[in-house]
Structure 1
Amino acid sequence: MPDPQPPKAAFAMDPVHLPLLFPPPLMARLRRACDLDPSFVVRDFGDPAAADRLARTDVLITGWGCPGLDAAVLAAAPRLRTVLHAAGSVRSLVGDALWEHGITVSSAVTGNALPVAEYTLAMILLAGKDTFAHRERFRATHTYPTVAETAHTGNVGRRIGVIGASRVGRRLLELLRPFDFTVLLHDPYVDPAEAAALGAEPLPLDELLGRSDIVSLHAPDIPETYRMLDAGRLALIRDGGVLINTSRGALIDHGALTDELVSGRLQAVLDVTEPEPLPAASPLYRLPNVFLTPHIAGSLGNELERLGRIVVEELERLAAGLPPAHEVRHSDMVRVA
């Protein structure tokens, strides 16, 4: 049954994101679904000026820039029952205390997965056409490539290796379906039947690396995946192969990857690195076989509205007495980003 009284909600994030997350029509829907003061945004849960409002808060609407949610939050907001995260992963946000107290957590991670998958698809298609190398040659010579120089260019039959059937990985697999690719998948939690339903051939990691023309990394950043692509595994990728990383830099041994890229044996599209950003002296900024972007694959600009819309819909469900559609459970933390 819906609650006769709308829940009392508060924002907890860097307020710079609010206008893009919740443009006026979405903000109006949000305020119809809850008791919310849009001018009240928590930046510090220990701030005495926020104490009265937090003490009456049932729902926290969080986002980038939100302080960690730990026992101090429960002390400041004893009525808190729900956290709606208007961004992606909650791994670094939610502390054990919230799980232990049964706080419901929902995330807009599915909305954030789409632009990452779109970015990855675009890079796969561009890499298959050898776009980056052709651009460099064209800049240097101002001449068109010969037939010999394009003999191995094209996207027909490219073998695309996807590491991780995460939310991004699954969206990417969906986007790859219309193209003439052979899609390979490594994910220890996906059985052969599910992989087939996703349109991919399941393989052990080492075999996937050895067979793929383009490898795209979508595994979660957890202890088990730390530097999962080390020097030995990077060496399995064929000469001229392309590595795309839109996940986290920590999944790759950065020193070993730098060696491979400096040698020219591999190509890479890197939206994330370790560290982030790279030092100014890093050769990756200058190598012609590296396409480096500043962590832009996720939601930016008008794409943030999609995340806000998910939060509004979750709050409307809450106000109607329905369970969240995008709940994150404590048990998920062992294998999601």
Structure 2
Amino acid sequence: MKILVTDKIADRGLELLRAEGWQVEPVSPKEAEAVRRGLAEATAWILRSGTQVTAELLEAAPRLKVIGRAGVGVDNIDLEAATRRGILVMNTPGGNAVSVAEHTFALLLALARRVPEADRSTRSGEWRKSEFAGFELKGKTLGLVGLGRIGQEVGRRAQAFEMTVLAHDPFVAAALARDLGVELVSLDELLARADFLSLHVTLTPETERLLNRERLARCKRGMRILNTARGELVDDAALAEALASGQVAGAALDVFSSEPPKDSPLLKLPNVIATPHIGGSTAEAQEEVGWRIAQQVRDYLKDGVVRNAVNLPTLSAEEYRRLKPYLELAERLGAFAVQVAGPMARVSLRYAGEVGELNTHLLRNAVLKGILGRVVDEPANLVSAATLAAERGLTVDETYVRREQGFPDTLGVTVHATAQQFSVEGTVLHGAALRILAVDEIDIEAPLEGTLIFMRNRDVPGVIGQVGTILGSRNINIASFALGRREQSGSMGSLGPGGGAEAVALVRVDGAVPETVLQALRSIPAVTFAQVVEL
């Protein structure tokens, strides 16, 4: 197994991967051809912000399963292309939180005391002591846009300086903010009240140019702005205008919309402090995020454990242990359904009992993987399945129920196909054994594995014998034979066409089943449907 590494990663992280017997290949991101050659055989790709992951590069990586970003931001990765190709993307949030927070606060102090300006003046031979009077932080208000791990660390440091801390973050609970001693407010209120504004949100279409001309005009006059998150959060031209007019008194920027910034109007202003994206660049942070991403990649490739995934829900080792057999169940039920029913427009899932308490997002994707893996020419897996389904107009609805009788913990899959509706239900026994429990609401218990012949028939004498004769005469061994019929009501029962109750059969056989054998089975008068299902 090859691990491609295209940015500097902690040595102990690389040694962790080598200890598994894997080939670790460090390549500079500037060596385009070497990167492309490495991707041709790579199972994992570990990188930092210095590598651009494009759709074109991903097309050159047929074996790639996971991309590990040592750090937080993933705007250098084409997530849509990775997801479509079924490639898991993970990052390491919090690994450099303290380093970024400390750098943010260093910039805040430098703004308050005009340290860079005073330094330049003194080095030039001047002694303009009175011109560089600053102000105390005590009693001032800091506004945090984003109260994640880094925002929280910055807030703690501000409180140590006796500042009032406000925050705008729609995804943070009020109770958490209260525990942190932070006041949650709207963005407009934060802009109006804050003496310092610090950005700590990820880059999304909604946050791009969050600080635009309109919002900067609504800021408290004389506010100072800090950005150690993403350069694209700020409209550079609008900020330059606000700094020149005095609406914004100063800015400290560690990130820029284009890096390195070429001809940025911000770098020409004396009230701007600029650093070259070094917020997370401490020895401790570099070591920590490199070690963390190596652990995450190893655990995913070895055990399927998902941590800090950007395009898939996170799973602990214990959650994965509980979920794993049900993922296999879900995939096989989806594969069973598509082989019987054919093309479909909608899938209905029913989670019963403890199955509904598992990660149903992944169970849904596993069902779609089973369905699409039989019909698309692209890699369908837990990452890509939902995207591939949406592209094909395949919709999914889900319900949660509690079974009062029979097996309590089950997964049901109903597919709404072009010409019919078909349902299949299954469970996991003893933590590992996969079983079908019902087909089209007819109870039948059978192993969900191997080569199966699924039949619909009328429950009349002689069917089992005829099936056995046909298979035996073709030297096809029967491993198991399961039967089920719709429960009879009254004296006549539930009759299929031509008389006899509706019945189903699942015959597990050893070896392949030629089409001529299926034709022979379909020729049995009581058999209305016969299809091979490969699981």
TM class by shorter chain equals 0.7 to 0.9
Alignment of structure 1 residues 240-255 onto 2, 5 Å = 240-255=222-237
1:193 shift after superposition: 1.9
Higher helix share: 1
2:76 is matched by which residue type in structure 1? S
What's 1:335 paired with? none
Which SS does the other structure have where 1:145 is aligned? Answer: helix
Give 1:73's aligned residue.
58
Contact 1:132 1:289 in 2 (8 A): no
Describe the SS at the equivalent of 1:110.
Answer: coil
Given residue 293 of structure 2, which amino acid in structure 1 is its aligned partner? Answer: V
Quote the residue 2:14 is aligned against: 27
1:252 alignment partner AA: V
**Shift of the alpha carbon at 1:164?**
1.5
Residue type of the alignment partner of 1:171: E
> 1:174: how far off?
4.0
Which of 164, 170, 178 pairs up with 1:182?
164
CA deviation after TM superposition for structure 1 residue 239, in Å: 3.1
Q: Deviations over 1:165-209 (max 9, x none)?
A: 244323323443433111000112223223223331111111111
For the residue of structure 2 that corresponds to 1:189, the secondary structure is coil
Correspondence list, 1:196-207, <5 A: 196-207=178-189
Question: Where does residue 210 of structure 2 map in the other structure?
Answer: 228
Residue identity in the other structure for 1:110: G
Distance 1:241 1:108 in 2: 32
Q: 1:26 to 1:289 in 2, by over 3 A?
A: same
Which has the larger share of strand? 2
Which residue does 2:3 correspond to in 1? Answer: 10
Structure 1's 101 and 210: CA in aligned 2 closer, same or farther, altered over 3 A? same
1:129 Cα deviation (Å)? 3.5
Matches within 5 A, 1:48-197: 49-50=37-38, 54=41, 57-68=42-53, 70=55, 73=58, 76-78=61-63, 80-100=64-84, 102-132=86-116, 134-135=118-119, 142-145=127-130, 150=133, 153-197=135-179
| TM-score, normalising length: structure 2 | 0.51
Q: Which amino acid aligns with 2:286?
A: L
Q: 1:69 to 1:167 in 2, by over 3 A?
A: farther
Mark the CA change 1:110 to 1:140 in structure 2 (over 3 Å): closer, same or farther: same
Matched, 1:299 2:284: no
* Aligned-residue offset at 1:93: 1.2
Give, in angstroms, the shift of residue 34 of structure 1: 4.5
Provide the aligned length of Structure 1 versus Structure 2: 311
Q: Structure 2 CA distance, aligned partners of 1:331 and 1:259?
A: 42
Matches within 5 A, 1:294-333: 294-299=276-281, 303-318=285-300, 321=303, 323-330=305-312
If asked which structure has higher relative contact order (CA below 8 Å, sep 6+), I would say 1
Which amino acid in the other structure matches residue 69 of structure 2? H
Corresponding residue of 1:3: none
Q: Which amino acid aligns with 1:162?
A: L
SS at match of 2:155: helix
Question: Quick check: 1:268 aligned with 2:255?
Answer: no
Q: Distance in 2 between matches of 1:49 and 1:243?
A: 43
Q: Partners of 2:209 and 2:16 in 1: how far apart?
A: 43
Closer/same/farther in 2, CA of residues 100 and 46 from structure 1, 3 Å limit = farther
CA-to-aligned-CA distance 1:31-83 (integer Å, 9 cap, x gap): 113512435778658988547x61xx4433233454526486367333x4332
Q: Distance in 2 between matches of 1:177 and 1:96?
A: 40
How far does residue 136 in structure 1 lie from its aligned partner after superposition?
6.4
The answer on whether the counterparts of 1:44 and 1:67 sit within 8 Å (CA) in structure 2 is no
- Structure 1 window deviating more from structure 2 (235-244 vs 180-189): it is 235-244
Q: What residue ranges of structure 2 are gaps of 5+ in the alignment?
A: 315-535
Q: 1:320 to 1:95 in 2, by over 3 A?
A: closer
Q: Deviations over 1:245-285 (max 9, x none)?
A: 122232222222111212244211122234444444x5533
Contact 2:28 2:35 in 1 (8 A): no
| Letter of the 2:309 counterpart | E
The one-letter amino acid of 1:62's match is L
- The alpha carbon displacement at 1:308 in A equals 1.3
The answer as to whether partners of 1:246 and 1:272 remain within 8 angstroms in 2 is yes
Q: CA deviation at 1:234?
A: 1.2
CA distance in 2, matches of 1:62, 1:215: 31
Mapped to 1, the partners of 2:268 and 2:48 lie a distance apart of 34
Give the Cα separation in 2 of the matches to 1:251 and 1:47. Answer: 30
The 8 Å contact of residues 262 and 283 in structure 1, kept in 2 or not, is answered as: no
The AA in structure 2 aligned to 1:289 is N
Alignment partner of 2:109: what SS?
A: helix
Structure 1 gap ranges (5+): 1-7, 333-337
Deviations 1:194-238 (A, max 9, x none): 322333111111111111111111222211122222223212333
**Contact 1:113 1:168 (C-alpha < 8 Å) held by counterparts:** yes
CA distance in 2 between partners of 1:50 and 1:230 (Å): 41
Rounded Cα–Cα distance in structure 1 between residues aligned with 2:61 and 2:209: 38
- Assess, with a 3 A threshold, how the Cα gap between structure 1 residues 267 and 39 changes in structure 2: closer, same or farther: closer
Per-residue CA shift, 1:308-337, capped at 9, x if unaligned?
1112222453466362433323589xxxxx
